[in-house]
Amino acid sequence: MRGKHKIIVQNNRLHYEFEIKRNITVIQGDSATGKTTLINMLRQAENLGQSSGIDVRCDVPCRILEGPHWKLVLENVTGSILFIDEENTFINTEEFASAARGSDNYFVLITRENLYNLPYSAEEIYGLHSSGKYQNTRKVYQEMYRIYANNPWLPIDPEKVITEDSNSGYTFFQAICRENGIVCESAGGKSNIFTLLQHIGPERTCVIADGAAIGPEMNRLYKQTQHHKNISLYLPESFEWIILKSGVISRKEIQTILAEPEQYIDSREFFSWERYFTRLLTEETAQSYLRYNKSKLNEAYLHDKPRSAILKSIEGINFNRNPL
């Protein structure tokens, strides 16, 4: 399954309207914000049809996934958007993560828990609120909003950089930081970032991590930035996405793909968008001097032209502490 899908769920009192564009979307938020009501309306529409008085509009089927036989149901459903409420504790299990991996469905998970078994995007974590644009009507219009806005912590002139892993991205940023007298450290995985931040001193610190899969860590990382104003987060889709965005690879179709990646990324083949961008960059550079290897950086990316293009595409981080 791929693409962006608009969903409208409404009755004579309530109107929910939102768009889904990735295989995993998470709706969080406090009680009494309409999350459970949305699930109940979808369940009634599925069970009772038109007699429910609920209208569900979408270009693909919208269903509830719940109960002890969820796995059997999932195995027999394709091309649908499946909504799961937090009362179904299976969403926290590796069994569900394994079943969702390779599924030809999108999932909307309504939960306040951090789902560490699933690689979901920081951009696809939402809350629900009532819109003010229909104030003169009796119907309540519910809309989704992003809980973690894009780059609210930037710009920054870092004194220290922490990268998520120790692969090519770390090697690139380590070289840039070394040139400019900036400390660069690898967390060795997204789950270790929080631990490192607990021991950060007063130095201005920028965390660079793959936004496409950092979702489970966002709650506690965000709290760290609230408690320590010297900590900033830079969360591109992935290091490979940065390279593709920089224009180092000149094929025009790449920028078209980056503008609407949901139209090109099949959820059955790519559980996380970062995997797609790695595949795309690897294939696009296979026959060039910029041949990409995720585990070991091709030193050509540190040559003046590619290096400058990549750094220019990173908005909000000033690595140059030694201007001429």
* 101 phi-psi bin (left φ>0, alpha ψ -120 to 50, beta other): beta
Q: What is the pLDDT of residues 233-246, one digit of tens each?
A: 999 999 999 999 99
List CB contacts of 115: < 8 A, sequence separation 6 or more: 26, 91, 92, 109, 215, 216
* Residue 135: per-residue pLDDT: 47
Domain boundaries, given as residue ranges, for the chain: 5-146, 160-313
* Residue 320: per-residue pLDDT: 87
Q: What distances in angstroms separate CA 58 from CA 6, 79, 92, 129, 303, one per listed residue?
A: 6, 12, 27, 21, 48
pLDDT above 90 covers what percent of the chain? Answer: 85
Q: With H, G, I as helix, E, B as strand and everything else as coil, classify residue 145.
A: strand
Buried-exposed string 15-42: b where 16+ CB fall within 10 A, e elsewhere: bbebebbbbbbbbbbeeebbbebbbebb
* Residue 322: per-residue pLDDT: 61
* Residue 153: per-residue pLDDT: 75
* Residue 276: per-residue pLDDT: 97
Half-sphere exposure of 11 toward its Cβ, with a 13 Å CA cutoff? Answer: 14
The ranges of the chain with pLDDT < 70 are: 31-32, 132-138, 150-152, 321-324
Environment class of residue 150 by beta-carbon count within 10 Å: exposed (0-12), middle (13-18) or buried (19+)? exposed
Nearest to 255 by CA among 284, 231, 232, 214: 284
List CB contacts of 230: < 8 A, sequence separation 6 or more: 200, 202, 203, 204, 205
Q: What distances in angstroms separate CA 76 from CA 99, 105, 237, 247, one per listed residue?
A: 12, 11, 31, 42
- Say how many C-beta atoms besides its own lie within 10 A of residue 67's C-beta: 10
168 token code pair: 């090519």
Q: At what angle do helices 239-246 and 304-313 cross, to 10 degrees?
A: 110
* Residue 214: per-residue pLDDT: 96
* Residue 130: per-residue pLDDT: 81
* Residue 247: per-residue pLDDT: 95
CA 255 to chain centre: 19
CA distance 37 to 54: 12
* Residue 32: per-residue pLDDT: 64
**Neighbour order of strands in the sheet with 160-163:** 183-186, 160-163, 205-208, 231-234
CA distance 231 to 277: 27
Q: With H, G, I as helix, E, B as strand and everything else as coil, classify residue 46.
A: helix
Q: Which string of DSSP letters, residue by residue, matches 149-204?
A: -SSTT--B--SEEEES-SSHHHHHHHHHHHHTT-EEEE-SSGGGHHHHHTT--SS-
* Residue 324: per-residue pLDDT: 45
The answer to whether the CB of 156 falls within 8 A of the CB of 232 is yes
